Structures are given as structure tokens and as C-alpha cells.
Structure 1
Amino acid sequence: MQKSEGVDETTDSCGRYIAHALIGVLEEATPGRSYLFASKKLEKANNLTITRFVQDSLTNFFLPDAITGEKFILFLSDAAPYMVKAGQNLKNFYSDMLHVTCLAHGINRVAECTREEFPLVNDMITFVKKVFLKAPIRIQLYKEKCPNISIPPQPVVTRWSTWLDAVMFYADNYETVKSVIDDLTDSSSSALMSSKKLFKNPQIKKDLIFLKTNYFFVSTTITKLEKSYASLTESVALINQFESDCKKICGVTGSLFRKKMESVIQNNTDFHILQNIAKMFAGANTINVPDIKTSIICKYKYAPITSVDVERSFSVFKHGQETKFPSGKL
């Protein structure tokens, strides 16, 4: 029975390093499910502590049986350098293991370079967020004027694609939001005054149009990748389509976007193996067969290429801290 494992690390509200490990069974007939089987506070986050965490967790999980190389065939993580190094360390113990860095993480890193290239749009989103943050009277005025439109989204940098989601909202509702901002009159609010000034800048509208028409597919792709139980063929097809869509973006920013995506894929070396495996599953005959046992290759039919389940486990963990442990004590 072959296993896949997803591992990630976060910092909790007390500044402690917390590592989670999820494990799942790779079946040929049906998609598997992942389960959180280890959570541990680390003294520091580096490749050695992560390697030790994975090894100790697997040893305890499989006791009294020994862990053979064929039992652990897929390791998922983000692309942090110490995680990449931890994957290299683990390959010394598990010769059949592939290490794939999360493709949803990767696409989000690509999207982040877009935010950096459009500072005016970023400033507008930031200041409008502040205008309505903890401002019930302004929110009420907004709802009265725009009863059928939601409050402008408040993107969070650590949440995938939320900035581009906000861009799409403003592109669809630019004039409406502008009219609300223009009607607000609190001159003591620096966020409001900055928002008014930005909405008068014609470049904002041009940037929003460019972003909406060229980058609409990013959030959609991340959402589809977050879907559970997809086959490897389906997931790889999404990445291939994303790369194809990247090539259609014009201008200097499009070139930067494409280069960033190329870097994400090129540095994810074992993903290329899964791409070839997916092609075999789809019936392609013009590819090199990976030097992996046939019985193991078949187990990758429903192999995940994202670590979204680990991210969700952290969300539950942090939510538990906020609601059950207000003092920050576990």
C-alpha cells in the first residue's frame, strides 16, 4: 500500500513553529483522502527539523512495522528552500519517493509578481480596504447606495489569489465604488483622501482593464487546483492550460509573468515526472517512460499536486487557537 504525505510549517499566534503532516493512500481505482496524523512544535524551521519530523512521524505511524521505500512514494510541500532540501534528505531513505512542491503555491507566487507591477491598483485596494475596515456607518452608506453589490473585498496576502479576486471586483464595479468614495466626506481620514485621489487617476482604470482581460484565469485555476479528488491527468491539464494562457499575456508585465511561471515549473523537478506519467495515462506514446516500477507508476493515477489540505489543517488549527485558546496556550 503506497502512501503520499503533505508537510508544511507555520508560525502560530505565539510565534512558535508548528509543523503538520498529512498522510493518504494512493489507490488506482479511486481518489484517496488525506488525514492529519502528526502535529508538532519545532524549535526552529529548517531542513533538518523537517526531515526529523517526517521520519519520526512515519516511524510512529507504522509501528511495529518497518517503513520500506515502496510505502512512501510522494512527498508534497511548499517551495521554501529548506523544504526542498528536506525532500532531498528524505529521498536518501525512500528511493521511490517523488517530491513535488505545491503548484497552487507556485501559481500564487506568480500572481504576487503581478501585484508588484501594478502599485497604483495595489494602493487603491489597500486604501479602500482601510476606508471600510471597522467603519459600520460607511458600510451602511455603501449598502444603501449599492444594495446588490458586496462590500469591496479585503485581500489577505497569505491567502491565495485574494488580491487578483479584488482586482476583478474593482474592474466590474469601478464606477460604483468610485461614486461611493466620492460621496464620503470625512476629511480627517487619510485613507479616504488617498482613495479619492487615486480614483481620479486615469491610469487606475487602464490598469484594471488590462488586469481583468489578461489575468482572469489565475484565480479560476487556483480554485480548480484546490478541488479534492481530481485525477493526475486533470490536474496536470490545468497546469498545462495555465502555462498556455500565460503565453497570451502581452507587454512587459506579461513577459515577467511568463518567466516567473517558467521558473516555478523548472525548479519543481519531480513534477516533470508526474507530467510524463499523466501523458502516459492519457495514451501518449512519444514520451520517455520514467525509471520507476510499473506497479508504482499506476499508483499515481490520483496523485495530488497541491498541499491545500495541509493549509486547511493550519486554518483549523489557528481558528481553534482564536476560539478555544484565547490566551494562546495549547
Structure 2
Amino acid sequence: MRDTIVPSVQQQRKTEATEQLAGKYVVMLADEATDRREHCVFAVLLRTIEAWHEQKLFVASVKVLNAANSTHCARTILRALQTYNIQYGNVKAVVNDSARYMNKYVDSLKTVIGDNLMHVQCWAHKINLIANIYSKELSKLNTTISYLKSALLSTRKRKHLYLQFLKEKNRNPKVFPPVLTRRNSSLSTAVYVAEYFEVMIEFFRNDYM
């Protein structure tokens, strides 16, 4: 299936997308994430500039890069534009976060596409950076949270006992939020500790460990 059906469907979707993008003005949305194996995954989306109800969003490229740097990102974007036969003059803007290499690759794109290319930085990223300032300053709080999280969730048995204990105390049986560095969950985790701290201490004192 992977060798026959997937390539066929991929080519069909690529042909359909090329036809729908032909002659349209577009905005590029690009971002990088890290997969489970610590690989850099760079995604490029294309949104058509039309009336709101007619706009279309296409996944132009998803590439695993050896390194997330301006050179690799710029090349990936240019190849995506060439793949869908998009004229450089029809590319009106690029949206990404405020990482330095992101800003640098936009400068590289302007040398090819033109200085009229608008650069829009994602405000969600900016707000997240502001919200995480306190977590960098309160290092001892982060250390305490990490120890608590590890002590409660390091094994399935202990996690199960903790959730059962919360039920016995008529508390909402929920565990810590996701990884501290993702989606401003550091704030949610701090709030969780403040709300459940006394219950956690009682859990430890009752020899549930």
C-alpha cells in the first residue's frame, strides 16, 4: 500500500492543488517542530488570498531537516513553490514565529521573491514568550515542580494510586499538564501545584510511595 496507493494518491492531490493554486495570490505559513526522535520537522502551508469563504489552505511541504537553519528552510519553501508552479510575484506574505533563523530565511527569500514580500510574525508565539518569562526567572519553582511531577508520575502504579487518592479526597482526579516547555503549560502546571499541593503532601505522608 505504501509503495503503490500512497504515491498515486499523493500525485493526484498534488495535481489538484496545483490546478486550484494556479494564478492565485498566496500567503505562506511556515513553522518548525521537533518530533519524538528530536528531528526537526519543517512544515509549509499555502493559503489563497480570496474572499474569506473561498480561501483554501494547502499543505505544500513537510520535511525532516538535518538542522533547522535559514538555509534549509529557505530551500524547502522555494522548492514547495516550484512544485506547485507558483509564480514568485503571486507570493504576498510569509507568516512564521520570531526565531532568529526564521527572520534570516525571510531575508533570503526576499532576494529571490522580491522586497515586496510581507513578513508577519505569529502573535501567538510572541504572547507565549511573554507568558513564559516568569518560568525562566523562577528556577527553584521549576525544579520543585519537576521533582513533584517525577515523584507522582514516574510509574503507572504510583500514578494510579495518586488518582485513586484524589477520588477519595473528593478532588478532581487529574494529573499534571503536559511538558513544561510546550504551549505555556508551565503556567498551568504552577497553578496545578498551588491547587493540589496539600493533597500531594498528604499523599506522600500516608506512605502511598
TM-score over 0.5 for the alignment?
Answer: yes
1:136 to 157, 166, 178: 157
Q: Distance in 2 between matches of 1:37 and 1:75?
A: 13
Instruction: Pick closer, same or farther for the CA change 1:182–1:111 going to 2, 3 Å.
Output: farther
* Structure 1 unpaired stretches of 5+: 187-330
Instruction: Pick closer, same or farther for the CA change 1:145–1:119 going to 2, 3 Å.
Output: farther
Structure 1 residue 42 corresponds to structure 2 residue 42? no
How far off is 1:24 after superposition? 1.1
Residue 194 (structure 1) aligns with: none
Structure 1 residue 180 corresponds to structure 2 residue 177? no
The CA deviation string for residues 177-225 of structure 1, in whole angstroms up to 9 with x for no partner, is 3333333454xxxxxxxxxxxxxxxxxxxxxxxxxxxxxxxxxxxxxxx
1:112 to 132, 141, 149: 132
2:104 to 60, 81, 85: 85
TM-score (norm 2): 0.73
1:74 to 93, 104, 109: 93
Q: Distance in 1 between matches of 2:206 and 2:56?
A: 51
How far off is 1:33 after superposition? 4.9
The CA deviation string for residues 249-302 of structure 1, in whole angstroms up to 9 with x for no partner, is xxxxxxxxxxxxxxxxxxxxxxxxxxxxxxxxxxxxxxxxxxxxxxxxxxxxxx
Residue 96 (structure 1) aligns with: 116
| Farther-moved stretch of structure 1 (13-22 vs 120-129) | 13-22
Q: Which has the higher contact order (CA 8 A, sep 6+)?
A: 1
State the SS of the aligned residue for 2:84. helix
Q: Distance in 2 between matches of 1:152 and 1:176?
A: 12
State the SS of the aligned residue for 1:24. strand
Are the counterparts in 1 of residues 40 and 68 from structure 2 also a CA contact under 8 Å? Answer: yes
Paired residue type of 2:169: C
Q: Distance in 1 between matches of 2:175 and 2:51?
A: 44
Are the counterparts in 2 of residues 38 and 57 from structure 1 also a CA contact under 8 Å? Answer: yes
- Counting only pairs closer than 5 Å after superposition, residues 1-330 of structure 1 correspond to structure 2 as 1-30=24-53, 32-62=55-85, 67-69=87-89, 71-92=90-111, 93-133=113-153, 134-137=155-158, 138-184=161-207, 186=209
Decide which structure has greater strand share: 2
Are the counterparts in 1 of residues 163 and 173 from structure 2 also a CA contact under 8 Å? Answer: no
Paired residue type of 1:89: S
Are the counterparts in 2 of residues 129 and 154 from structure 1 also a CA contact under 8 Å? Answer: no
Paired residue type of 2:46: I
Aligned length: 182
Instruction: Pick closer, same or farther for the CA change 1:161–1:150 going to 2, 3 Å.
Output: farther
How far off is 1:168 after superposition? 2.1
Paired residue type of 2:168: K
Residue 214 (structure 1) aligns with: none
TM-score (norm 1): 0.49
The CA deviation string for residues 38-77 of structure 1, in whole angstroms up to 9 with x for no partner, is 1223343321221111111111112xxx5142x2122112
Are the counterparts in 2 of residues 75 and 99 from structure 1 also a CA contact under 8 Å? Answer: yes
Q: Distance in 2 between matches of 1:170 and 1:42?
A: 37
State the SS of the aligned residue for 1:96. coil
Q: Percent identity?
A: 22
How far off is 1:129 after superposition? 0.9
| Farther-moved stretch of structure 1 (49-58 vs 139-148) | 139-148
Q: Distance in 1 between matches of 2:42 and 2:168?
A: 46
State the SS of the aligned residue for 1:73. strand
Paired residue type of 1:167: A
* Structure 2 unpaired stretches of 5+: 1-23
Paired residue type of 2:67: K
Q: Distance in 1 between matches of 2:198 and 2:80?
A: 54
How far off is 1:146 after superposition? 3.4
| RMSD after superposition | 2.6
Q: Distance in 2 between matches of 1:98 and 1:132?
A: 48
Instruction: Pick closer, same or farther for the CA change 1:117–1:44 going to 2, 3 Å.
Output: closer
